Structure 1
Amino acid sequence: MPASTPDPAPQRSLWRDRDYVAWLAADTSWQFGASIRAFATLLITYAVTGSYAQAGAVSTVSTIVSAVAMLPGGVLVDRWDRRVSLTVSGLARALVYGAATLTWWTGAMTIGVLYAVGVASGLIAGLFSTASDAALKSVVPTRDLPRAIAANQGRDAAVSLSASPVSGVLMGLSYALPFAAAALGSLLQVIGTRFIRADLRPAREPAATSAHARRAFLRELGAGFSVYRDIPVLARMLPALILVNCGVNALFVGVQLILQGQGVEPWRIGLLDTAIGAGMLAGSVFAPRLIRRVPTGRLCVTLFVGCAAVLMPLSFVQDLPLALIVLALLGIMMPALNGAMGGYFQALIPNRLQGRALSAMQLIQQTLPALMPAAVGLGLQYLGAGPTMLATAILFPAAAVLVLTHRELRALPTPDRWSIGDQQAPEPLPDRDPAAGAGTVGA
């Protein structure tokens, strides 16, 4: 792969970048609330219904709705000012989770309400989940994306360390409180977004006449998939990512439900997230140096195979101490892996396609993994823990083989030598008609 000329300008600390700090605060607020709510929902559903199958089904329905909404959501994120998308999604989440809070406090919580909350949260996630990541490329320079994503992994670690145990404690007080925390986090996202000064509007594309607007929208729905045609390294990685995501989803849901069925307290089950968060926090300390010094391909292949290997024991033994060790080791490797691989993938995607390409990527990666909670719930209900969890054992070796044989991925150099087309010449954003509102579709 041809090397691009390194940028000689010194890199400044991300923490001195006011826009990045504001973006991180806004993104962290809703992520923290969402993590509290997500952990509680699985256990609340089981407590309300007493059914493993129903607990898994609510999660699967929410994810499927999210997947269906992702492609039109990517089009909206690439048309609207991304500041508007972040604001609208925050207000919508606050409304949904605020309503769920009141439903529990009034004694009206049923399985139907839980399905409704799952569908609504999935719809919001599908329409707007890529808005924050798409905005990041406007907040930091392209060369800083790997560092920013690695730093975000440290943030994710802090969220994982605290969100699930906090959720368990809140559930001990009232099952309504995790929903209230999610509503508060969503409102804080709206406030934090207002402090981002960067222009978050996507680059305009030629306007379509009203007669061709529908066909233009349909073309835009599929535009995100074009990156997989134009960037083969992305297409080659997808099968491996799908296999690992399926395995991780199945293991995580399975271990949580098995432990709850054994009567383990929610706060102790929450330690699963704490373990992976502690590992990520430790790994995020070394991730920037590894990303900078180790060729991206060598780093990604080594860590990806390592992640697949450490997850294997949970397919055979679902024991809380073992799960804590396995997830901590996984967390240590994740910041460098996601920072290097995610930074390279996102840097390759043009700014005008960020929303659609990220939506397409999430849709492809999540479609099969979305079925895992329901499949695991049914398996636990009718087959038992042993056969259900053993079925995941074939996924991780298969993913490792796909990555090890990926020659183009193995050849990627360090970030300062990436050959990125729009890194050298960012796309200009035309002036917008002052009369147009902030939420006007770019034309």
Structure 2
Amino acid sequence: MPSAGLRHNRDFVLLTFARTTSKLGTQITGVALPLLVLALTGSATDAGLVAFAEGAALVLVLLPAGLLADRHDRRRIILLCDGGALLAVGAVAALAWTRGAPVTMIAALAALVAALGAAVQPAASAASRAVVPDGDLRAATAFNETRNAAVNLAGPPLGGLLFGISPALPFIVDVVSYAASMLAVAAVRAPLGRPRDEPDTSLARQSVAGLRFLWQRPALRYVLVSGAVMNFVFSGVLLAVLVVPVRGGASALSAGTTVACVGLGAVVGSLFAARLTAVVPVGRLILAVTWSSCALIAAMAGTGNGLVLGALAGACSLLIPAANIGMLTVLALLTPDELQGRANAATGFFAMLAAPFGPALAGVLIDRIPSAAVFLSFAAVVLLLALATTFGRAVTAMPDLRTPTRSPVPAGTP
């Protein structure tokens, strides 16, 4: 539940409803899409390539989307992009109904939806920041983290269930979710921010201003790089967790339930995340995330059971909400309004930079080597990151949020 101040913030409630419905629809189709490709072709490689197309489109759009969010009306951006995604997902629903679509067409539509979602992301984050006072910012970040975890928990099994009824049904539900999101955003009364233009600076320089802002701060620079590595690994592992049980005969509903275990871990973690960030330095949380993820992904090599794989993946998610809350709060507090969209976009850009290659690699490996070797390969990547994190100096530059009266930025940080 949000704090009392947030519950009475009508515009925050509307924006939260909009993002919740849209994210739920995305999670539903996130499971349904690879299941559709597997049903059409039977190829894990094809499923991985569709996921690659989605991730690549998202990465390519994020940085210019940040500039768009800082130079144009954020409400209009959200409405136009959600409307375009509604039409694209509707086309996928029609293709799923006929069951005769080529994989390339599905990949193209999936990439379009991902690109439009990337364009919405910085605008939606900046819009939410515009309606939340500084005093409620940490509470809003914690609530949004819990919301995301709950959606990640509910969406996959629902997607699997709906796909089992009809392959087109998950995509129809996603169409409805976009329509609901658009209505809620249109009802927001407050201006969502239209910061001043920067006429004396080139467009290219303006586009990377958020990236420069983050890269100049050692703590945030490390988080960008480590986030890219972890998202590469988790996106590949998630596809493997979904495909391996299906290859073994699991149903679509069972596969969705397996993926939902990741959301369950995040929900449980989010329940104590705010308290955890108040007593544990963010740097130590990041160390705990890397080492525990390494061990848990390696453990996946010992089983092909979907529920066990899901439980191990869910355990990987337990500490992630606390780390996310700490870093997102610091980012929002440090970033001036005219850079909110671009800083958020730069964070997403780096986080997703390598992510498209995770499922693409996982799909190729699943078709060619034993599943145990697939999981061990990804665990080895996390091991390298954990060692670099442990013996590097960047963790000492992590902001300390344990004392509310202290500045969240370490002394000497640019």
- TM-score scaled by length of structure 1: 0.84
Q: CA deviation at 1:183?
A: 0.9
Q: CA deviation at 1:237?
A: 2.2
**Alignment-derived partner of residue 396 in structure 1:** 382
Pair 1:74–1:415, CA change in 2 (3 A): farther
Q: CA deviation at 1:407?
A: 4.0
**Alignment-derived partner of residue 315 in structure 2:** 329
Distance in 1 between residues matched to 2:54 and 2:205, nearest whole Å: 26
Q: CA deviation at 1:256?
A: 1.1
2:60 to 60, 63, 68: 68
After superposition, the C-alpha distances for 1:268-318 in whole angstroms (9 at most, x for unaligned) are 111123222223323322222233444444445445544444343224544
Pair 1:106–1:276, CA change in 2 (3 A): closer
Q: Secondary structure at the match of 1:130?
A: helix
Q: Contact 1:316–1:390 at 8 Å: present in 2 too?
A: no
Q: CA deviation at 1:346?
A: 2.9
Q: Is residue 43 from structure 1 mapped to residue 30 from structure 2 by the alignment?
A: no
Identity %: 26
Pair 1:253–1:331, CA change in 2 (3 A): same
After superposition, the C-alpha distances for 1:111-144 in whole angstroms (9 at most, x for unaligned) are 1321221221122123222221222211212343
For 2:372, give the aligned amino acid.
G
For 1:399, give the aligned amino acid.
L
**Alignment-derived partner of residue 131 in structure 1:** 123
After superposition, the C-alpha distances for 1:346-385 in whole angstroms (9 at most, x for unaligned) are 3222221122222222222212121111111111122332
After superposition, the C-alpha distances for 1:406-436 in whole angstroms (9 at most, x for unaligned) are 3434562426245369xxxxxxxxxxxxxxx
Q: Is residue 268 from structure 1 mapped to residue 254 from structure 2 by the alignment?
A: yes
Please report the RMSD computed on the Cα atoms of aligned residues, expressed in angstroms: 2.3
* Structure 1 residues 200-219: aligned runs within 5 Å: 200-207=192-199, 216-219=202-205
Q: Secondary structure at the match of 2:319?
A: helix
Distance in 2 between residues matched to 1:420 and 1:350, nearest whole Å: 15
Q: Contact 2:298–2:375 at 8 Å: present in 1 too?
A: no
Pair 1:234–1:195, CA change in 2 (3 A): same
* Structure 1 residues 5-154: aligned runs within 5 Å: 12-154=4-146
1:189 to 181, 194, 219: 181
Q: Secondary structure at the match of 1:98?
A: helix
Stretches (4+) displaced over 6 A: none
Q: CA deviation at 1:80?
A: 1.3
**Alignment-derived partner of residue 353 in structure 1:** 339
Distance in 1 between residues matched to 2:406 and 2:203, nearest whole Å: 33
**Alignment-derived partner of residue 240 in structure 1:** 226
**Alignment-derived partner of residue 412 in structure 1:** 400
Which protein is bigger by CA-based radius of gyration? 1
Structure 2, unmatched stretches of 5+, are 410-414
For 1:260, give the aligned amino acid.
V
Distance in 2 between residues matched to 1:402 and 1:20, nearest whole Å: 39
Q: Contact 2:224–2:351 at 8 Å: present in 1 too?
A: yes
Q: Secondary structure at the match of 1:129?
A: helix
- TM-score scaled by length of structure 2: 0.90
